[in-house]
């Protein structure tokens, strides 16, 4: 990842740090609709953008927001929207069109507990939706999972950069706790992410040039298959963007795998376990798509078992199991509906697994 100049430390909410970072990242336009627990993003833009630069528009729905994003991205602007789970569900049709038309944009999902209207408390229940496509057809988003207010700000820059590099929608998959909590954040410097209008954009056809059109309609199956092959090729190229963080994995006998807020809980569990002499390590995927499959596979040969910890009913654990491919046992510990597990809960789970394994051995 490119090093971004950082100059200024502030105490900020995750949602506000993210919004401030977007302004500093040179976002041309934001289209959004209020929903808890992410309304501060829209509110921040409405207060700040008139005094600074860019454009903010409160749309009549998430459906309208994502289609405004389509139009503005197609015209070559650097654009962003944000919402929380039910609103992101409403955007899925638009995201499928954006992925197919190969438009760059940044979408932020400050996840809340579901399904349905659910709760406004934090959750990781939208993992499947985020990393497996979410809308119709074969496509992926680039998915970044912050675990601190600092990363809420930093990943805006990474999100725009990756979206534009691959002409692919990028998503920051965070949750209500990271959006609402306050932490120290060193904000990235303004103007460090240059942007020009791409040649493919619909910006008015110059007299001596072919017209540009943005579409996701390829009625001949032969052509549609070629478009799909191109998309899949792009997803393969993206694999080099995999990012993850490791904590005490060198000598780990037990590996925790967790992203976002759950990874922060697990970091504490690692410390508690090591105080008790249990060699626990943590792998935190930072990119959820592309996924650190290869690293998880490598670690499988070194540990006794893995425990995947998520604030859902067990979603990322499926990708961990695919990576491990039966080589070692992969267990799951989760809370749902807006509940967060404690570091002690996770430690208790580890101890119980060890006990059961030693009995069966």
Partner 1 sequence: MESELLIEDLECVYKKTSALTDTPLHYCPGCGHSIVHKLLMEVVEEMGIQDQVIGVAPVGCSVFAYHYMDIDMQEAAHGRASAVATGVKRVRPDKYVFSYQGDGDLAAIGTAETIHTVNRGENIMMIFINNAIYGMTGGQMAPTTLSGQVTSTSPYGRDTKQVGFPIKITEMLALLPGAYYVTRQAINNVAACRKLKKALRLGFENQKLNKGTSFIEVVSNCPSGWKMTPVEAMTWIEGNMFPVFPVGDIKVSK
Do the beta carbons of residue 25 and residue 160 sit within 8 Å?
Answer: yes
Report residue 158 as tokens: 């990474």
Piece in contact with partner 1 (CB under 8 A), picked from 115-123, 206-214, 245-253, 274-282: 206-214
Bridge-based pairing of strands 79-83 and 55-58 is: unpaired
Of 64 and 278, which has the nearer Cβ to partner 1? 64
Number of Cα atoms under 13 Å in the Cβ half of residue 158: 23
Q: Do residues 1 and 26 make contact, with C-beta atoms less than 8 angstroms apart?
A: no
Asked whether position 224 contacts partner 1 by CB under 8 A, the answer is: no
Please report how close the Cβ of residue 237 comes to partner 1 at its closest, in angstroms.
26
Compute, in degrees rounded to 10, the torsion defined by CA atoms 194, 196, 200, 206.
Answer: -170
Q: Is 74 in the site for partner 1 (CB under 8 A)?
A: yes
Q: Does 77 bind partner 1 (CB under 8 A)?
A: yes
Report in angstroms how near the CB of residue 204 gets to partner 1 at its nearest.
Answer: 5
Q: Is 72 in the site for partner 1 (CB under 8 A)?
A: yes
- The H or E element containing residue 24 is helix 14-24
How many residues form the binding site for partner 1 (CB under 8 A)?
Answer: 39
Answer yes or no whether residue 278 interacts with partner 1 by CB under 8 A.
no
Q: Which of 215, 220, 358, 360 binds partner 1 (CB under 8 A)?
A: 215
Of 192 and 203, which CB lies nearer to partner 1 in the complex structure?
203
Least gap, CB of 80 to partner 1 (angstroms): 12
C-beta neighbour count of 196 within 10 angstroms? 9
C-beta of 54: minimal distance to partner 1 in Å?
10
What is the Cα–Cα distance from 2 to 20, expressed in whole angstroms?
19
Q: State the CB neighbour count (10 A cutoff) for residue 47.
A: 12
Query: Which is nearer to partner 1, 30 or 259 (by Cβ)?
Result: 30
Binding-site member from 34, 46, 48, 55 for partner 1 (CB under 8 A): 55
The Cα–Cα gap between 66 and 351 comes to 46
Alpha-carbon span 106 to 169, nearest angstrom: 6
Q: Which is nearer to partner 1, 76 or 125 (CB)?
A: 76
Does 227 bind partner 1 (CB under 8 A)? Our answer is no
> Is 205 an interacting residue with respect to partner 1 (CB under 8 A)?
yes
Query: Contacting partner 1 (CB under 8 A), which of 36, 203, 239, 293?
Result: 203
Site string for partner 1, 84-113 (x = CB under 8 A): ---------xx--x---x------------
Are 106 and 158 spatial neighbours (Cβ–Cβ below 8 Å)?
A: no
DSSP, res 240 = G
CB of 135 to partner 1, least distance (A): 10
Cis? peptide before 191, omega within 30° of 0: no
Contact with partner 1 (CB under 8 A) among 60, 222, 250, 275: 60
- Please list the residues that pair with 287 across neighbouring strands: 144
Using the rule CB under 8 A, give the single segment among 63-71, 141-149, 179-187, 283-291 that binds partner 1: 63-71
Q: Which residues, at least 6 apart from 310, have a Cβ–Cβ distance to it below 8 Å?
A: 124, 127, 258, 259, 262, 316, 317, 332, 333, 334
Measured from the Cβ of residue 191, the count of other Cβ atoms closer than 10 Å reads: 10
217 binds partner 1 (CB under 8 A): yes
| 216 is an interface residue for partner 1 by CB under 8 A | yes
Cα–Cα separations (whole angstroms), residue 8 to 13, 21, 198, 238: 15, 12, 31, 32
Nearer to partner 1, 30 or 332 (CB): 30
Binding site for partner 1 (CB under 8 A): 28-29, 31, 55, 57, 59-61, 63-64, 67-77, 79, 93-94, 97, 101, 202-207, 211-217
């Amino acid at each position: 990842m490119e090093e971004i100049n950082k100059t200024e430390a502030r105490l900020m909410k995750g949602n506000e740090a993210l919004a401030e970072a977007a302004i500093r990242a040179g976002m041309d336009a934001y289209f959004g609709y209020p929903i808890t627990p992410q309304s501060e993003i829209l509110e921040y833009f409405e207060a700040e953008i008139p005094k600074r630069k860019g454009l903010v528009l409160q749309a009549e729905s998430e459906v309208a927001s994502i289609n405004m994003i389509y139009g503005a991205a197609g015209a070559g602007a650097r654009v962003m929207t944000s919402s929380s789970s039910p609103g992101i569900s409403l955007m899925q049709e638009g995201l499928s069109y954006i992925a197919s038309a190969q438009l760059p944009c940044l979408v932020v999902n400050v996840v809340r507990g579901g399904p349905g209207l659910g709760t406004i408390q934090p959750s990781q229940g939208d993992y499947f939706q985020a990393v497996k496509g979410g809308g119709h057809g074969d496509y992926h988003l680039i998915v970044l999972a912050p675990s601190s207010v600092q990363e809420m700000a930093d990943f805006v820059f990474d999100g725009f950069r990756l979206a534009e590099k691959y002409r692919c929608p990028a998503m920051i998959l965070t949750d209500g706790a990271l959006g609402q909590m306050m932490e120290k954040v060193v904000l990235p410097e303004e103007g460090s992410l240059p942007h020009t209008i791409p040649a493919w954009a619909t910006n008015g056809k110059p007299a001596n040039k072919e017209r540009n059109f943005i579409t996701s309609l390829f009625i001949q199956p032969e052509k549609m298959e070629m478009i799909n092959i191109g998309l899949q090729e792009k997803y393969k190229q993206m694999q080099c963007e995999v990012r993850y963080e490791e904590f005490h994995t060198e000598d780990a006998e037990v590996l925790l795998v967790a992203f976002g807020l759950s990874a922060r809980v697990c970091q504490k569990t690692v410390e508690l376990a090591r105080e008790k002499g249990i060699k626990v390590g943590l792998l935190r995927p930072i990119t959820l798509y592309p996924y650190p499959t290869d690293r998880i596979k490598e670690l499988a040969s070194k540990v006794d078992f893995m425990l995947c910890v998520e604030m859902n009913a067990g979603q990322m654990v499926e990708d961990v199991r695919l990576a491990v491919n039966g080589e070692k046992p992969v267990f799951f510990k989760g809370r749902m509906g807006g509940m967060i597990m404690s570091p002690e809960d996770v430690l208790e789970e580890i101890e119980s697994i060890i006990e059961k394994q030693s009995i069966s051995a």
